[in-house]
Amino acid sequence: MAARRWSIVIVVVLAVWMGGYALLSRDPDAVAYRESCVQSAQSTLDGLGTARMATDDGLLSSYRTALDDDAQKLIAQARGQIAGQVPPDSRSAQRRDALLPLLDEAERAYADLMRSQADHDGAARQRATDRIRTLEDQLRDFVDGNR
């Protein structure tokens, strides 16, 4: 009787383990890939928007440093959300092709903004801020169009 119970327990544990392994190791389906792309775009939007608002001169410098770190992490984790994932179909590949240039541009714009602040270059800061506003609109359109 005890041996039979233990056999059932072992079978159940093995089934759950193998099911979990199959679930985690499979390629993401199209819905999951779309969600990853949307989360990636949203994360970039959050980071850029926060960095743009943090350029306000009325903020404490230590606080601005912490906020810029937060923004950098958000932008960095955006790429990590889709890195290494293979688009499961052609529609997903199109989605990736639309998103990746926005992520590249976001990283460049963020770096330019940080450099302009470090150099105390008001004109460069304004240009970077304007670029970021345009990017925010594009990212919002991407998020809204792919929910």
Partner 1 sequence: MKRLLGVTLGILTAIGGFVDIGDIVANSEIGARFGTALFWVLPVGVIGICVYAEMCGRVAAHAGRPVFDLVRERLGPRVGLANLSGSYLVTLMTLAAEIGGVALAVQLLSGIDYVLWVPAVAVALWLGLWRLRFETLERLFGLTGLALVVLLVALIAGDTPWSQLAGQALDPVPTEGEDWNSYWYFAIALFASAMTPYEVFFFSSGGVEEHWTRKDLLLARANAFIGFPLGGLLAFGFMGTAAVFFYPNGISVSTLGQAVLPAGLVLGKIGLACAILGVFAATFGAAVETGLSSGYTVAQYFGWGWGKYVPPRRAARFHTVVLLSILASVALLLTMIDPIQLTEYTLILSAVVLPLTYLPILVVANDRDYLGDRVNGKLANFFGMVYLVVIVVAAVAAIPLMIVTGGGQ
**Contact between 59 and partner 1 per CB under 8 A:** yes
Closer residue to partner 1 in complex, CB, 32/100? 32
> Distances in Å between the alpha carbon of 85 and those of 10, 12, 82, 92, 106?
33, 31, 6, 11, 20
Question: Three-class SS string for 12-67?
Answer: HHHHHHHHHHHHHHCCCCHHHHHHHHHHHHHHHHHHHHHHHHCCCCCCCHHHHHHH
Q: Which of 98, 114, 146, 123 is nearest to 48 (CA)?
A: 114
Out of 65, 94, 126, 134, the only residue in the binding site for partner 1 (CB under 8 A) is 65
**Contact between 60 and partner 1 per CB under 8 A:** yes
Out of 33, 37, 40, 46, the only residue in the binding site for partner 1 (CB under 8 A) is 46
**Contact between 111 and partner 1 per CB under 8 A:** no
Distance in Å, CB of 19 to partner 1, minimum: 16
Residues that bind partner 1 (CB under 8 A): 35, 39, 42, 45-46, 49-50, 53-54, 56, 58-63, 65-67, 70, 74, 136, 140, 143-144, 147
